[in-house]
């Protein structure tokens, strides 16, 4: 079989050749980034297990200085919490009632931009997309980071319904998040008396509808909550990666924000980090006990 280089070099049309070479270069750069991330992660894991840099260097055929350098430079392993290679940040379009056309609100634009910047800081290639005004979104794609709640999209609502622990519900006061395990209910500060500049938000990794992978879902009851989740990710992504890796999970984030600017001033997890595989196993144990 000819190599990619030979295949591209054999293209007669110069414009097709340029396009093909550019696409292969982009793919190669993503592969280099992910290989560097993988190498750094394994070195960090070995060192955490008590293996010295000298031992790692000897077994890997590299110098001790090079091993030490790799451990502290290059793409951070926790970037894989967001994805590998390339990701797509998705935000919802809303209907502009004055002009009767789709628009991206400032709050959604701000959340999307910050999530894109965070992904780029880990060496990921980033694209953007939108949930349509009527709520349509193709969730059967790799590397999706979706900032959208159940109100804006029936497809997202169906995806959230697959979560075995954290559920979106609605009552007379509005949307809320319920922890089915503990019974705790999480609301927006706008639903309290008196109202408070606070929100609750969902953070989780959910299965794609086609069953071929997962996607990251972020949604505040209000946009301030989504922005707070991204603020939390920027500060705590290494901890989150260490606890859930790339597995399916969900949790609830509490966000206090400045009432003038809407900017988060304090964010924290208020529900456990539920790993869905663990919850699935627990449900099976309960079913066996019932039998």
3-state secondary structure 15-41: HHHHHHHHHHHHHHHHHHHHHHHHHHH
Report yes or no: 156 and 148 within 8 Å, Cβ to Cβ.
yes
Report yes or no: 243 and 205 within 8 Å, Cβ to Cβ.
no
Contacts of 129 (CB under 8 A, 6+ apart): 88, 89, 90, 137
- DSSP bridge partners of 117: none
For the chain, what is the mean pLDDT? 90
Average pLDDT of the segment spanning 221-228: 96
pLDDT at residue 285 tops 80:
no
How far is it, in rounded angstroms, from Cα 26 to Cα 28?
Answer: 5
Q: What share of the chain in percent tops pLDDT 90?
A: 63
Give residue-wise pLDDT tens across range 54-87: 888 888 898 888 887 887 777 788 999 999 889 9
Average pLDDT of the segment spanning 22-50: 85
Q: How is residue 5 written in tokens? A: 């280089």
Q: Where are the alpha helices (DSSP H) in 177-275?
A: 223-244
Predicted confidence at residue 33, as pLDDT, reads 81
Predicted confidence at residue 281, as pLDDT, reads 47
pLDDT band at 279 (very low <50, low <70, confident <90, very high): low
Question: How much is the CA Rg of the chain, to the nearest whole Å?
Answer: 22
């Amino acid at each position: 079989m000819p190599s990619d280089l030979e295949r591209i070099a054999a293209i007669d049309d110069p414009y097709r050749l340029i396009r093909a070479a550019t696409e292969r270069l982009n793919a190669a750069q993503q592969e280099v980034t992910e290989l560097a991330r993988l190498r750094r992660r394994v070195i960090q894991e070995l060192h955490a297990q008590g293996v010295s840099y000298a031992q790692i260097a000897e077994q890997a055929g590299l110098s001790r200085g090079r091993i030490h350098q790799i451990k502290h430079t290059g793409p951070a392993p926790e970037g894989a919490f967001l994805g590998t290679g390339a990701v797509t940040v998705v935000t919802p379009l809303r209907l502009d009632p004055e002009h009767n056309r789709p628009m991206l609100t400032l709050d959604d634009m701000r959340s999307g931009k910050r999530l894109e910047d965070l992904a780029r800081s880990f060496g990921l290639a980033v694209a953007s997309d939108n949930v349509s005004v009527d709520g349509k979104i193709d969730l059967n794609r790799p590397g999706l980071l979706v900032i959208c709640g159940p109100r804006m999209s029936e497809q997202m609502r169906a995806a959230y319904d697959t979560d075995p622990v954290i559920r979106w519900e609605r009552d007379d006061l509005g949307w809320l998040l319920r922890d089915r395990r503990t019974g705790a209910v999480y609301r927006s500060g706008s639903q309290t008396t008196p109202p408070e500049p606070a929100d609750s938000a969902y953070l989780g990794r959910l299965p794609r509808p086609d069953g071929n992978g997962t996607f990251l879902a972020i949604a505040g009851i209000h946009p301030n909550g989504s922005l707070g989740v991204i603020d939390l990710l920027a500060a705590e992504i290494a901890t989150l990666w260490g606890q859930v890796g790339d597995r399916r999970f969900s949790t609830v984030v509490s966000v206090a924000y400045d009432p003038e600017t809407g900017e988060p001033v304090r964010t924290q997890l208020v529900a456990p980090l539920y790993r869905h595989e663990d919850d699935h196993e627990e449900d099976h144990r309960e079913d066996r006990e019932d039998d």
